């Protein structure tokens, strides 16, 4: 049978089964939808929107080109990507997924990188942000701020290792360098590129800002849709009995890796949605080290929800999704192994022994920046989301009238 015919049958069957499950189990669907919507409305939208808007402006006025030329000697030898990849990496870490994919796609559409460079770049720039790792996971789920240090160290170190491995992706490709030989210093060349980009931008700053807001909110609306969809899917696979079958397979793998079998459901949930998987992992009866390793894998794998967001963003370009998926598996393995390797020297010998004192150890101390921001978003996030959605509606109506 033709491969495309098989794909058609599988896709049609899968969507039909999901549609029937939604109809047969409306209460579970509504509960899961509310859970996904709450996370997006309270945390995801208000925390990501400022980064998205600012990054759009930085790209438009040429700051990214400035950074790219300056950091070309660092990014090219290490990761075989242009210097602008440093901006994508920094924004990906600061704002979290799917920022890395969004900015990589932006660079590709502007022809600042090749498709292969885009595949390398997106593989190690799509990661969890510190706010989620420290405030939501370490403090919110595990009630153990020191664990955040281990998770963050394993996560970001694993990300860099993925980048170093992916530099060998398509080694036969010739490296494209857009810099001409010049007697000018690199800083001067970078500034000239920044100035030329700003001058060539015909839009006034007000229009530029409006476009940045409009584009960012459209992306976040897409992100919200995927979060809700995969929250529902995660709930439905448990209701219709598929989760038990999949959990049995995962339990076998865990036992082969000498990890507690009770982490099967948390890992299965984490494969779909990282927040739920991390929370279930923290609530399991497994040893803390095993919980941390599984959580590290979940954070690095990103979950099918985030991967679907990335696939949707990359669909507008010729950057393929398969290398990104391979990188997620690689990152998950690296993160879990690094958690195991760092556990004794960093967590047991330093953090737990009291040799290194973290301000968050004593709950009478002031909250850290990440905790303060997280709790602030929980209280004000809905208002911020509502405010910018009204602005988005206004911009859209005005544009439709103009056209």
Residue-by-residue pLDDT tens, the chain, 403 positions: 678 888 889 889 988 988 999 999 999 999 999 988 988 888 888 888 888 888 888 888 888 888 888 888 888 889 999 888 888 998 888 888 888 899 899 889 988 889 999 999 999 998 888 888 888 888 888 888 889 899 999 999 999 999 999 999 888 766 655 555 556 778 888 888 888 888 888 888 888 888 889 989 998 999 899 889 988 988 888 888 888 888 889 999 999 989 999 999 999 989 988 888 898 899 998 999 999 999 999 999 988 989 999 999 999 899 999 999 999 999 999 999 999 999 988 888 876 665 555 554 444 556 666 667 777 777 888 888 999 899 999 888 888 887 6
Residue 210 neighbours by CB under 8 Å, 6+ apart: 395
Q: What is the per-residue pLDDT for 356?
A: 55
Q: How many C-beta atoms lie closer than 10 Å to residue 284's C-beta?
A: 17
Cα torsion 83, 85, 86, 88: sign:
positive
Cα torsion 284, 286, 288, 293: sign:
negative
Q: At what angle do helices 303-314 and 264-272 cross, to 10 degrees?
A: 20
- Where are the chain's structural domains? 23-173+182-351, 371-402
Q: How far apart are CA 34 and CA 19, in angstroms?
A: 18
Reported pTM? 0.85
Short-list 53, 59, 102, 54, CA closest to 193:
59
Residue 257 neighbours by CB under 8 Å, 6+ apart: none
Q: How far apart are CA 56 and CA 61, in angstroms?
A: 9
Q: How far apart are CA 155 and CA 136, in angstroms?
A: 15
- The CA dihedral of 226, 230, 232, 233, to the nearest 10 degrees, is 140
Q: What is the per-residue pLDDT for 30?
A: 93
Task: Tokens 């010739």: give the residue.
Answer: 174
Q: What is the per-residue pLDDT for 360?
A: 46
The secondary structure of 350-372 as a DSSP string is IITTTSS--GGGSTTSPPPHHHH
Structure-token pair, residue 138: 């370490």
Furthest-apart CA atoms within the chain: distance in Å = 71
Residue 239 neighbours by CB under 8 Å, 6+ apart: 21, 25, 28
Q: How far apart are CA 213 and CA 395, in angstroms?
A: 9
Structure-token pair, residue 170: 């398509």
Backbone angles phi, psi at 167, to 5 degrees: -65, -20
Residue 96 neighbours by CB under 8 Å, 6+ apart: 47, 48, 127, 128, 129, 131, 132
166-to-71, 171, 341 alpha-carbon distances in Å: 19, 10, 22
Structure-token pair, residue 35: 């859970």
């Amino acid at each position: 049978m033709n491969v495309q015919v098989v794909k058609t049958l599988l896709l049609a069957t899968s969507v039909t089964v999901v549609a029937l499950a939604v109809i047969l189990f409306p209460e579970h669907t509504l509960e899961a939808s509310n859970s996904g919507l709450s996370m997006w409305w309270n945390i995801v939208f208000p925390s990501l929107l400022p980064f998205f808007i600012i990054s759009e402006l930085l790209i438009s006025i040429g700051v990214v080109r400035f950074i790219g030329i300056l950091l070309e000697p660092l990014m090219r030898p290490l990761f075989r990507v242009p210097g602008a990849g440093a901006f994508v990496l920094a924004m990906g870490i600061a704002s979290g997924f799917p920022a890395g994919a969004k900015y990589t796609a932006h660079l590709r559409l502007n022809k600042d990188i090749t498709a292969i460079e885009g595949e390398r770049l997106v593989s190690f720039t799509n990661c969890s942000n510190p706010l989620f790792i420290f405030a939501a996971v370490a403090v919110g789920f595990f009630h153990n701020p020191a664990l955040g240090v281990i998770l963050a160290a394993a996560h970001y170190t694993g990300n860099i290792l993925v980048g170093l491995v992916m530099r060998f992706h398509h080694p036969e490709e010739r490296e494209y360098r857009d810099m001409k030989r010049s007697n000018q210093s690199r800083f001067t060349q970078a500034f000239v590129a920044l100035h030329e980009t700003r001058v060539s931008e015909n839009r006034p700053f007000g229009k530029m800002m409006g476009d940045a807001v409009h584009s960012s909110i459209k992306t976040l609306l897409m992100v919200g849709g995927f979060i809700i969809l995969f929250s529902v899917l995660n709930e439905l696979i448990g209701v219709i009995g598929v989760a038990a079958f999949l959990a049995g397979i995962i339990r076998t793998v865990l036992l082969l890796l000498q990890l507690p079998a009770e982490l099967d459901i948390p890992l299965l949930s984490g494969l779909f949605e990282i927040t739920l998987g991390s929370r279930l992992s923290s609530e399991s009866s497994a040893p803390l080290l095993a919980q941390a390793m599984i959580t590290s894998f979940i954070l690095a794998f990103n979950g099918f929800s985030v991967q679907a967001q990335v696939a949707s963003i990359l669909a507008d370009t010729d950057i393929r999704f398969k290398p990104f998926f391979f990188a997620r598996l690689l990152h998950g393995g690296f993160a879990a192994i690094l958690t195991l390797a760092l556990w004794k020297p960093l967590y047991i010998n330093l953090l737990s022994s009291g040799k290194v004192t973290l301000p968050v150890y004593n709950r009478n101390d002031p909250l850290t920046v990440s905790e303060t921001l997280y709790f602030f978003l929980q209280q004000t996030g809905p208002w911020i989301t509502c405010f910018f959605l009204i602005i988005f509606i206004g911009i859209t109506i005005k544009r439709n009238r103009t056209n």
